[in-house]
Amino acid sequence: MSYSDSGNSGPQADAWRSDRGVHAYDPSLHPELFRGVATRRVFAFLIDMIVISVPIILGYLFIAVFGVVTLGLGWMLFWLAWPASVIWAIVYYGACIGGPHSATLGMRVMDLELRTWYGAPGYFVLGATHAVLFWVTVSFLSPLVVLVGLFNGRRRLLHDFVLGTVIINNSVRAPLPQAARSY
């Protein structure tokens, strides 16, 4: 039994299928959705780095002061700081992209939104994977990750291609097809 046999018919029922070539965000039909996205992503990234860094810095300061108060015993917590920082960053991205705005705080400030190629909003695992894949690709392919975004109509970076996501300019409200339903 296929998805369209379950009572859902029409173009919406098969919109999730990649063999039809349906893409919810076409830069030739709606170029305004991608105008300024590359620049906004840079500033959104910087804002997110500040948001992620503040609790980490406060944690390190707490451990330093706690170590002084406990005559050095508290400094043994420093070995937990780096893994806790990584977990915090992954949870931040996952929770923000999986939230109702489908965007991190930096993306919301810059009026950006993450969507799947077929128009669905982000979810926790996608957000966490997006962050991990970004950091892995930047670590190994730093200039290539950014250059890819300059040479495609949707301004997608390398990890966006791998995950099937697109970042859109949320300040523009263009008539787009509704996302496929999962029920």
In a domain? residue 93: yes
Containing structural domain, residue 86: 23-169
* Beta carbons within 8 Å of 105's beta carbon, 6+ residues apart: 47, 48, 51, 96
Q: Where are the beta strands (DSSP E) in 79-181?
A: 112-116, 165-169
What local confidence, expressed as pLDDT, does residue 178 receive? Answer: 60
Please state the domain count of the chain: 1
Q: Is residue 181 part of a domain?
A: no
Q: What is the pLDDT along the chain (183 residues), one digit of tens a residue?
A: 334 444 444 444 444 444 445 667 777 788 888 888 999 999 999 999 999 999 999 999 999 999 999 999 999 999 999 999 999 999 999 999 999 999 999 999 999 999 998 889 999 999 999 999 999 988 888 878 878 888 888 888 889 999 999 999 988 764 555 655 565
pLDDT at 28: 75
The two tokens of residue 89 are: 């960053």
Residue 150 counted as domain residue:
yes
Q: What is the C-alpha to C-alpha distance for residues 66 and 108, in angstroms, rounded to an integer?
A: 35
Q: Domain for residue 91, yes or no? A: yes
In this structure, how many other beta carbons lie within 10 angstroms of the beta carbon of residue 64?
14
Residue 48 placed within a domain? yes
Tally: H helices and E strands in the chain: 5, 2
Closest C-alpha to 25, from 129, 134, 151, 167: 167
Q: Is residue 27 part of a domain?
A: yes
Sequence-ordered list of residues with C-beta below 8 angstroms from that of 156, at least 6 positions apart, any chain = 148, 149, 165, 166, 167
Helix, strand, or coil (residue 62): helix
Entry pTM: 0.79
- Within a domain: residue 151? yes
Indicate whether 2 belongs to any domain.
Answer: no
